[in-house]
Each structure stands twice: as C-alpha cells, then as structure tokens.
Structure 1
C-alpha cells in the first residue's frame, strides 16, 4: 500500500471518525448506539485541550480517501495511551495498520514517554496480533458487558 500516507488529525476529521467507529463496530461487533457518543466525547476532549507537544493524532489516507486513525495521548507523566486505532475494511492487510502503529509508538518514544498502554477487546483479533508482533504485552483480561455486548476487555502495555 505504497500510496498511503499519514497526516495530522484535524478537528474537521471528528465527524468522519465518529461515523466510522459507530458504523464499523455496529456492523462487525454488534455494538449498540452508545459507542459513537463515547468516541465523540474522546475526540471533543482531544480537540479542546490536548497538548500538541506530547499528544497527537494521525489519519491514514490514500488518494484523498481517509482509511484510518490512531492517537497518542498522555495517560500519566511517563505513560502514553494509544486510542482510537481504526482501519476501514478496505485498508486492512495492506500495511496501513503497521504504519499507524509505528508512527504512534515512535512519537511516544521521541517525546520521552517510558511506555504505552491501550485498552481493547479480544474480539479485535487482527489488532491484537499486530500489538503482539510489535512487542506489546497483554497484562489484563476480564469479561465485561459493554456497548450492548458480552466482551472480553484487554489491557496491553509496551515499555521502551
């Protein structure tokens, strides 16, 4: 996928990301209507007060079409949190996910975080496999009821 490039997230991407997350997770995982508003609240908070020195978001594009996103935000003084990692179906398996993850991890390392964390569900098997291939460790797993579904919530960490 050589035509894919990453650009900084801008506030004008918010509605697209909310729609993509809501539609994709409803279609692929059966999530209910509570997921889109959660994504919107995360993005609105990021737009309102993120620190661009140590927090960033990226959009993957090809030919002017948005393909996905990833965000690096502060969890605490030494740990970055990976958020809102998404790839539209047509971008999967073509290297865009690795490109986004690599950018996010490199940024976190460059700005001085000691490590990273993320929260996901085990049903996101391809993403979890990508995390494992990149040296992330699964440190916690528990059954939950979220977004109208019985899920297994996971926490992954990475140390630089």
Structure 2
C-alpha cells in the first residue's frame, strides 16, 4: 500500500488538478483541450457551490507530491456522485485507488446517501474493473464523440 495521505481539496490544488487531467488524458486517449476546460469548470463550481456537509474532494499526497484526486458530490437527496477520480501512473498498483474509493464511499454513507453514481468511459479499463470489484454496475453505455475523440460513455451506480 502506498503511504499517501488524503487531504481535503483546496483552491491551490485547482491548477495542478486541471493540468494533470489534461496531460494524462491527452497522452493516454488523445483528448483535446475541452477536457481540462471541463475539469476547470467542475472545480470552479465545486469551490463556489459545494455544501461541505455532504460534498467533499480529496487530494492524495505523498509528502508534498500530489498523486491523485477523488470527489463526492450531491446528485440529489439520496444519491452521491463520484467525480474527478484520478491517479497518476506512478501511483497505480499500490492500493491507493482502492483506498481513495473506500474513503469516498465512506464519506457518502456518513453523509446519508443511499446510492452512488459515476460517469466514465469504457476505455478506462482499470477504473471500470475497480468499480466492478466494489459493487458498481454499468447501467448504460453510449457511443459519443467527446473531447475530440470517439468514446463509449458509461454510467455506473451502486447501493451504499
């Protein structure tokens, strides 16, 4: 297990998180500049509007080095949404992704949610395998053209 700590997301993390999403997805999947722009919009809305009683974001850190992120936000009174789950390649394979997911699921349960949803792409095979191992089920898969590439968009959910 990686010795990384999860710390609350704060505004100084925004530039790193936008850049990390943009660079990783451009390299791995050919995503264009509309993807980091979306991440920036999501983070600005989170900073402006989130309710800390039922929404939170965390940054995984190994000392001062950022390794990833995960967010739990409100979809409705009973449903949480997992967002911005990112793990840098050098931090994969050490159990950190599972630790981050467990943390977000625990937060969602403690906040009173009964269900969690998420949106991803079929090409994110390792993430999809992690979700399936943790009780999520893929409820829909739709071919789309997003971020400059053809993708299969997926929506997953699970009971809490």
Any residues of structure 2 matched to 1:107-118 within 5 Å, and which?
107-118=107-118
Give TM-score scaled by structure 2 length: 0.98
Any residues of structure 2 matched to 1:138-149 within 5 Å, and which?
138-149=138-149
Give unmatched runs, 5+ long, in structure 2.
none
For residue 43 of structure 1, what is the aligned residue in structure 2?
43
Give unmatched runs, 5+ long, in structure 1.
none
Give TM-score scaled by structure 1 length: 0.98
CA distance in 2, matches of 1:63, 1:3: 9
CA distance in 1, matches of 2:71, 2:138: 19
Distance apart, 1:43 and its partner CA:
0.1
CA distance in 1, matches of 2:123, 2:94: 20
CA distance in 2, matches of 1:37, 1:152: 20
CA distance in 2, matches of 1:139, 1:93: 27
Distance apart, 1:121 and its partner CA:
0.1
Is 2:92 the counterpart of 1:85?
no
RMSD (CA atoms): 0.7
For residue 5 of structure 2, what is the aligned residue in structure 1?
5
Runs of 4+ in structure 1 deviating by more than 2 angstroms, as ranges, are: none
Deviation digits for residues 92-114 of structure 1, max 9, x if unmatched? 11111001100000100011001
Count the aligned residue pairs.
160
